Amino acid sequence: MAAEEMYRVIVDSLSTHVAVLDENGVIVETNRAWQEFARNNGMPEPVDCVGLNYLATCESGDDGESRLISRAIRQVIAGEIEEFLTQYPCHSPTEKRWYSLRVVPYRDRQARRVIVTHENITLIMRAQEKLRRQEKELQRKTDKLEETNIALKVLLEQRQRDRQQMEERIVANIRELAVPSLEKLRQSALNQRQQTLVDIVLDHLKEVVSPFLHRLSTVNLLLTPQEIEVATLVRQGKSSQEIADVLGVSLATVSFHRQKLRRKLGLNQRGTNLRTYLLSLR
């Protein structure tokens, strides 16, 4: 196969539309892809477009892009610029299409010509458009999430304020109403058991307004309600028998709870007294 014939086969094998223009902008050669595009888009014969003035076609267009292409082709022909590249839409009645146009010199010292190529970049443009839509949707969701986070933060802050106000009201009611009433009750004629129960209630209320129970809840322990009661009474200095009497349980049950408290508080391997440790929880 001769070199010229081989080059022709190579150019005709390309999917890119290729045309060679002379120094006046007249088409002197096109490849198979160019001709098939012309035929498929209803261009009359000859579909190779040989003899058609490409520059005149561009300059007859009423848009700035066509005139820009015409001026760039003349600059490449004159050697003023080495290469020109642009993208343009080429939509048909049935589909949207985009092409990349490139103009480069024809490397032949005996002829001043240029090569014009049109390459279909529709898939690339569609992918870019899809990416832009996805980015826009992602930004919309991000903005919505940020708005939700701000609203949630405001809600949590308000909840924290409400909780703090509720705790302050509870403490105030205990100190100003419950404790004074119980103090008066303690001064009245009560038997020993009643007196002891009033003392226990007062101590429990004082514990509510002290940080002790809060401290117990923050040491990452799973204390049962009865273990908390036993811990509170131990901290008050009550003996195991007194605790059993107050809670209405056996002495063995109190001992069992004391042992579990020591284990949960990590005191089994230490010589620390249980009440001393509980008093340290301030």
Q: What's the Cα-to-Cα distance from 17 to each of 21, 35, 61, 115, 201, rounded to whole Å?
A: 13, 8, 20, 10, 96
Tell me, yes or no, if the pTM score tops 0.85: no
CB-count exposure of residue 203 (10 Å: 0-12, 13-18, 19+): middle
The parts of the chain modelled with pLDDT lower than 70 are 1, 164, 167-168, 171-172, 175-176, 208-222, 281-282
Going by C-beta distance under 8 Å and a sequence separation of 6 or more, which residues neighbour residue 11? 18, 31
88 membership: H or E segment, kind and range: strand 84-89
Task: List the beta bridge partners of residue 29.
Answer: 20
What residues does 20 pair with on adjacent strands? 29, 115
Q: Where are the domains of the chain?
A: 8-120, 122-189, 210-282
Q: Which CATH class is domain 8-120?
A: alpha beta
Which one, of 74, 58, 67, lies nearest residue 22 by Cα? 74
User: Do 24 and 59 form a contact (C-beta atoms < 8 A)?
Assistant: no
Return d(Cα 93, Cα 162) in angstroms, integer. 65
> How far is it, in rounded angstroms, from Cα 74 to Cα 71?
5
Query: What pLDDT, on a 0 to 100 scale, did the predictor assign at position 172?
Result: 67
Residue 149 burial by CB count (10 A; 0-12/13-18/19+): exposed, middle or buried?
Answer: exposed
Structural tokens at position 157: 């802050």
DSSP state letter for 53:
B
Please say whether the beta carbons of 228 and 213 come within 8 A. yes
Could you say which of 3.40.718.10, 1.10.10.10, 3.40.50.11290, 2.40.50.100 is the CATH number of the domain covering 210-282? 1.10.10.10
Which pLDDT belongs to residue 174?
Answer: 75
Distances (CA, A) of 41 to 47, 60, 184: 10, 19, 105
d(CA 53, CA 183): 112
Closest Cα partner for 249 from 267, 224, 212, 271?
A: 224
pLDDT of residue 107: 81
Q: Alpha carbon of 208 to those of 182, 216, 233, 243: distances in Å?
A: 15, 12, 13, 19
Q: Determine if the peptide bond prior to 89 is cis (ω within 30°).
A: no
